[in-house]
Structure 1
């Protein structure tokens, strides 16, 4: 497919492209075709080149990207798209009530324990002490024990919630909601095509091309993908590796005259 017919990468999908690129560079040692990362071009240089060639790289997965964008737009235009989220909200509200109770229980029990113990011991100082002073002290210690138990339960609950949320966030691909199956499949198809047909071949060809200065983005040829980001033959200097051309000779027949010779040619 031609680059002109490829859909432009939307701003909201640019982070996904960068994540795929970073993952490919991070795990380059697992791919034999990218094993040369760091020998001539390091990961930073390759990332810069791939970001500059984002239009041509994403064009390799244009069909999958178009299907993904269409599925996502259909989801956003569907008025019933939040129905499942609303159903899940009831479960989340129940969990929210449990969290509130977990937080409030230690506070209420601790307050009651302090009041009962304070009043009970103050009454016990009277002569003679009231009969219910001992009862209030006992109730105070009961609420103190309940406070300790509530704090322990709250700590365990927070730990479990943190572990659950941490494992879930690593696998989540969307920040606010879980994608329906059709949108998730379209997105995964685009990501796979972009990685295998665009990013990895671009990095592989960048590593196998001859060394040379990077062509600035506005002057990059619009031909096939492997030539994007690499120097043309006339850009290579004489000092750029063993494959570089030999230094040109500067002398020519026009310059060999007595006036330009060495000391042995000086006039008497």
Structure 2
């Protein structure tokens, strides 16, 4: 079912309108004010009528809908970047990611490599010192081993600092995630307030009005006179009367008959002479 477009109802919110309408029709039997459902109008007819009047129905919850749309836009809008990021978009994020990766690699490899070098140099230096006479490089090897030992300690301290920095950064990210979750809850509350207002002030009053509206009476159609079912074929029955039966004014007359004269011409009397 396609819903008519409303000037203040976005396309992404039309399914929510239809869902609220379907829920109202599904639970209509639980509402005494909608008990007339099915007597004159069924659910499908009411649904079609409500979808056709969606703009009028949604206007009764326009304040809640505007708040819901604003909260959703605030959630979707990105954070305002810093001025440096505005000058070179993406460079700050890339540099930050690259720097964090390099620091992690150095923090991990420095104490490991320095520790290995310190152990090897100190072991070699002490072995050389045990020789008699001790070579001159033994002292230099021992000194280098102690230097790498110091680098190992410094690398461990740097790793601890890196862990603290990572923990602080994760805490900031967790705060942002928590803020976003709070925004999601606000959007959910705004949507629930809109659908509740849409149901109570828009859909249910519309359904009640349509169910209590008296049916429209059709205008009386005048009764047509009954006609012969046999249609006229365009010709009339021929007149089988003789021409003498019609008078000059078109009326039929019956023929007149007189008895014939049966007297003979020879017996007309003594004064009558035949011709």
TM-score by length of structure 2 reads: 0.40
Larger-gyration structure (1/2): 2
TM-score by length of structure 1 reads: 0.41
